[in-house]
Chain A
Amino acid sequence: MRRVSGVFDKSYVQDMMIFRTKYYVGGIILLFLFFMIFPLFGSDFWLAFISTTAVTVIALQGLNILSGYCGQISIGHTAFMAVGAYTSTILAAQFGLPFWICMPIGGFGAGVVGLLFGLPSLRVKGYYLALTTIAAQYLIIYMIKTPFPEITGGAIALNVPEVTLGGFTLTTETHFYYLIMFMLIIMTFIAKSLMRGHYGRSFIAIRDNDIAAEAMGISLYKYKLLAFFMGCFYAGIAGSVWAAYARVISPDDFTLMNSIWYMGMMIIGGLGSTLGPFFGAIFIGMLREICVVCGPWITSIIPQLGAQISASLVEMTFGITIILFLVFEPRGISHRWEILKESYRLWPFSY
């Protein structure tokens, strides 16, 4: 990695530091302050947009650990979100536990279920594993829908009890905005830290060649399952935060289509980089909003196109975007971002 002129890394620790230069620290603080005061002037639409995107980013950080770093393809990520969401909601509704206990338990439950579906990863990989995760998607949603409808709300919907933190009830968009931003910062920091260290490097070794990694003394059994646990833990946390924010959850929020969207966001953002989930979620979120806005406008010009114009437009642009990114920039926006940073660091002497 190239640094700004005059900054030299003398040790591995320095190379891996998050806050390496003072400009970087300054930029992060400015960004932080901007988002902290954003509710003062931002409209509810933008608050909701940022909150939704931030929840997506938390889930994507987990998918990034699992697929980006460890190379285990998962196309059932939203199902693990559903596990987290339903676990925490049921705990809160049936036993009246407070949110700050429910949320980690939801994450933990999702992690354990993830472990279960990660077990085939020890014997199969690649396509086969991807299909196992698709199976996980269907099986988990089935478990929510059918066997215990009186607890899980069945196929219809489940109301989430009000969230109170230390005697303070979260009601408005702004309250949830702060909660979600707090979780986002914490979870991103943990993900970044884990992936900088021993675990991250083991995961990368497994991703690049798992047989070679095993020969080098990395226990595939331990690390693949650990990756599944971590990835699904993140999904569970994201799911329970989402449940608290949305106030009502149903199995239709966690479909295979959503999982495909998540994987697409990872591809567009860039796999194996902490910034990737941010780029992917923001890019796709924006794209979706633009399509939803453009849909009625197109219908007003060409009225024959039918009522579902927005939905179909969203899907078509998403499909094309994924294909274009895979063909022209498989490493995603975060790779472009690195190139951009390097070019301005070296400017005006680009050699």
Chain B
Amino acid sequence: MTTFIQLFVSGISVGLIYGLVAVGFVLIYKSSQIFNFAQGEMVMFGAFLMWTFLQPFGLPPLLAIILVLALVGVAGYSLERFPLRPMIGQPILATIMVTMGIGVFLKGLSLLIWSENIGIKFPTVIENRTFTILNIPFSNVTIGSFFFVLILVLLLSIFFNYSRMGLHMRAAAENHQLAQSMGIRVTKAIAQSWAIAAIVSTIGGFTLGYIRGIDFGLTEVGLIAISSALVGGLESFKGAILGGVIMGVAQTLTGGYIGYGLKEVVPFIIMVLVLIYKPYGLFGLVRIERV
């Protein structure tokens, strides 16, 4: 029983990070109806970039974080101008392949720069301590990341529901032409959402890299995040978080009880099952198609 609860708790903490990355994904989908298959690469790239600013450059943590987030945000903003603006109105396959192309490029670039940095870790910020509540051990990093992600998600949903910029993005997501006729600059909204998504996934990469170390395997997070966004329904932040938690718990439980091989694929099994029985996810909008 204790093992179960332990696995469960660590599953939730990993799942929240999946959820965070999935939120970045939902963000882009909500504002531009584009599936960002480069999410995992963005997570990995962000983590490596953060490490580079912290360790070889030796900047103080706060400055490094601000610099990296600004850098990534600008990069995400400018992504809209070059490969993505020509994709407006193109078939779905084109947008899929463009984001995959971005992902492959980022992967190649990180391989070029950081291929010799194996087994690197972020410097310790918080002392890792474990305490027990009702005989169940909790680590303070887990609890910390839990609240961190929760606050971030809360902020994001306030942003999307009340701020002008967030409302513009949602309007742009609904219908490009309609939004444009209301005086919203769709390209700007899309660029902003890519910038925010890049920042969010970098934060996810930082958190995940802090827990499990930085390597090229971080890209796997992207696909798991995409499947958790799908499970939660693509339009909803709480769905993305919940989907991420489901994936995380399912992964740690299968990893703990069955084996490592199944742990890798269990998110995809869940996703296929959800797609077959409830194609629009747990909280997704059901779209009715007409000719």
Contacts and interface: CB of A to CB of B under 8 A. Distances in A.
A120 B272 contact: yes
Contact of A330 (B94, B264, B279): B94
A307 B116 CA distance: 8
Contact of A128 (B108, B113, B259, B279): B279
A215 B289 CA distance: 13
B139 interface: no
B96 interface: yes
A115 to B, nearest CB: 14
A192 interface: no
Interface in B71-126: 82-83, 86-87, 90, 92-94, 96-98, 100-109, 111-113, 115-116
Contacts of B247: none
Interface residues of B, number: 46
Contacts of B93: 67, 73, 263, 267, 271
Contacts of B154: none
B255 to A, nearest CB: 13
B268 A330 contact: no
Contacts of B103: 319
Interface residues of A, number: 51
Contacts of B262: 142, 146
B264 A126 contact: no
A316 interface: yes
B275 A124 contact: yes
A313 interface: yes
Nearest to A125: B92
A313 B112 contact: yes
Given A120-B272, A139-B269, A308-B112, A319 B291 contact: no
A228 to B, nearest CB: 15
Contact of A132 (B96, B109, B111, B275): B275
Contact of A126 (B92, B98, B115, B227): B92
Given A120-B272, A209-B291, A327-B86, A130 B96 contact: yes
Contacts of A317: 108
The listed residue with most B CB atoms (<10 A of its CB), out of A73, A126, A264, A319, is A319
Contacts of A346: none
B27 interface: no
B198 to A, nearest CB: 17
Given A264-B101, A316-B109, A326-B87, 18 more contacts: A124-B275, A131-B226, A135-B227, A138-B264, A142-B262, A142-B265, A146-B259, A209-B291, A211-B291, A215-B291, A263-B97, A306-B115, A307-B116, A313-B108, A322-B101, A323-B105, A330-B90, A330-B94
- Give 6 nearest A-B pairs by CB, closest first: A319-B105, A315-B108, A316-B108, A146-B261, A135-B268, A312-B111
Interface of B: 35, 82-83, 86-87, 90, 92-94, 96-98, 100-109, 111-113, 115-116, 223, 226-227, 230, 259, 261-262, 264-265, 268-269, 271-272, 275-276, 279, 289-291
Interface of A: 67, 73, 75, 119-120, 123-124, 126-128, 130-132, 134-135, 138-139, 142, 145-146, 209, 211-212, 215, 257, 260, 263-264, 267, 271, 305-309, 311-323, 326-327, 330
21 contacts: A75-B96, A120-B275, A127-B96, A128-B279, A132-B272, A135-B269, A138-B268, A267-B94, A312-B112, A312-B115, A313-B112, A315-B111, A318-B108, A319-B105, A319-B106, A319-B108, A322-B101, A326-B83, A326-B101, A327-B83, A327-B87
